[in-house]
C-alpha cells in the first residue's frame, strides 16, 4: 500500500514540475533526481535497472520514429534530441518503473 502512496505523490510532483517549470533542462534535472530516488526507494537491482533503461530507450526511439516519419502525430516545442526533449527520457524511465512497481504491487 505504501508503494501506491509513493507513486501517487511522485506523480503529483511530476505534474507540478510540468505546470510550473518551463525550462526543459530543469525539467530533465528534476526528473533525473526523481529517477534516482525511485531506484533507491524501490531498491532496483542492477540487472533490472539495465532492463528498465533498455525499455526506456526503446520507448523514446519509438516516439522519435512516430514524430519523424508518421504524419499527424504529436510534436514537441523543444526538440533537443532528434525531435524530442531531453526530459522525455527520464519521464519514460519513471513511467516504466511505475508500471513494473504497480504490476508487482497488484500480484
pLDDT of 68: 87
Distance CA 46, CA 28 (A): 22
Within 13 Å and on the Cβ side, how many CA atoms surround 27? 20
Q: What does 36-59 look like in DSSP terms, one character per residue?
A: HHHHHHTT--HHHHHHHHHHHHHH
Listed in sequence order, the DSSP H helices in the chain are 2-20, 24-41, 46-69, 87-106
Q: Which domain does 17 fall in, by range?
A: 2-106
Residue 1 predicted with pLDDT over 80 = no
14-23 pLDDT, tens per residue? 999 999 999 9
Number of domains in the chain: 1
Distance CA 103, CA 73 (A): 29
39-72 pLDDT, tens per residue? 999 999 999 999 999 999 999 999 999 988 988 8
Amino acid at each position: 500500500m505504501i508503494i501506491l502512496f509513493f507513486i501517487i505523490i511522485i506523480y503529483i510532483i511530476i505534474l507540478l514540475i510540468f505546470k510550473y517549470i518551463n525550462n526543459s533542462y530543469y525539467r530533465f534535472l528534476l526528473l533525473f533526481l526523481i529517477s534516482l530516488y525511485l531506484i533507491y526507494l524501490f531498491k532496483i537491482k542492477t540487472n533490472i535497472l539495465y532492463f528498465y533503461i533498455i525499455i526506456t530507450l526503446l520507448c523514446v526511439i519509438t516516439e522519435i520514429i512516430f514524430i519523424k516519419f508518421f504524419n499527424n502525430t504529436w510534436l514537441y516545442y523543444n526538440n533537443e534530441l532528434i525531435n524530442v526533449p531531453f526530459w522525455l527520457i527520464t519521464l519514460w524511465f519513471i513511467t516504466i518503473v511505475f508500471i513494473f512497481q504497480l504490476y508487482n504491487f497488484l500480484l
